[in-house]
Amino acid sequence: MVLPLGDLQRTQIVPFVTYSLIAINVAVFLIQQQQGDEFTLAFAATPYEITHNEDLEQAVPTEVRVLVHDQFGLHWERRERMRPHYPCPIPIRLTLLTSMFLHGSWMHLLGNMLYLWIVGDNVEEVLGAVRYLIVYLACGLVGSLAQIAVSPDSLTPTLGASGAIAGMMGAYVVWFPHNQIRVLVFRFITVLPAVIVIGAWIALQIWLGAGSIGRMGEGGGVAYLAHVGGAVTGIFVAFLFYDHARYIKTRNAAAEGWSVYEGPE
């Protein structure tokens, strides 16, 4: 198990947008806990609803693959299940936005917020508050669309900030590949460069995403292609602002009284 705990690169700003995003995600999750599945499913983004611009207001039948243990042993079977849906009080395609602030569990929320806390302040410092928020939302939107594109008729709702945060991670690893990140490796704490910690995570999402394409829409799980779409968007933006990121690194290094390594040209 490798768990990132934080980076060692300080910023010269107070990252108000990052803190606000974390607070909003936590607040929305608390509302989810109070309101239940009806609230969550109403504001999640369901591919079929997005591609057909149709709000599914009640449960609909769908086929799912289930693992069955019978006299023939373990095997997969297709069975019909009723997929719950609830009416959405806003235009259905706006759920592409609202779904970014929903989470499926405490672990889902805490994992996403941990990564946002680690990389968000550095990315916000480079982009500035307004651009940072725009890029964050754009990465989440592209991530959701990437997931929907491979299974446009899926009735499985998608939710979570993972696509947006993957975008922040993609920008971070382009701008700060040598930043040291404190990680928990099993029972030991050490530091590793961002290019290993974050780069390996992005590579894993691409590999898992490619392997999941044939199973899209069959049930719940991790939206790997949303991670890939968000990360690619963040990497693209990072190259647009690469020179400014170098300026920020040089400025911060001078303020701290240490040199900055840019790597081979």
Catalytic residues: 162, 227
Determine the angle formed by the axes of helices 16-35 and 106-127, rounding to 10 degrees: 160
How many helices (DSSP H) and strands (DSSP E) are in the chain?
Answer: 10, 5
Q: How far is CA 156 from the centre of its chain?
A: 17
How is residue 239 written in tokens? 């190259």
CB 234 within 8 A of CB 135: yes
Nearest to 263 by CA among 176, 203, 171, 169: 176
Nearest to 225 by CA among 179, 155, 173, 163: 163
Give me the half-sphere count of Cα atoms (radius 13 Å) on the Cβ side of residue 56.
25
**Residue 38 neighbours by CB distance under 10 Å:** 12
Question: What strands lie across the sheet with 180-185, from one edge to the other?
Answer: 2-7, 180-185, 188-193
CA distance 179 to 175: 9
CA distance 230 to 161: 10
Q: What angle do CA 153, 157, 163 make, to 5 degrees?
A: 105
CB 170 within 8 A of CB 233: yes
Torsion angles phi and psi, residue 157, rounded to 5: -65, 145
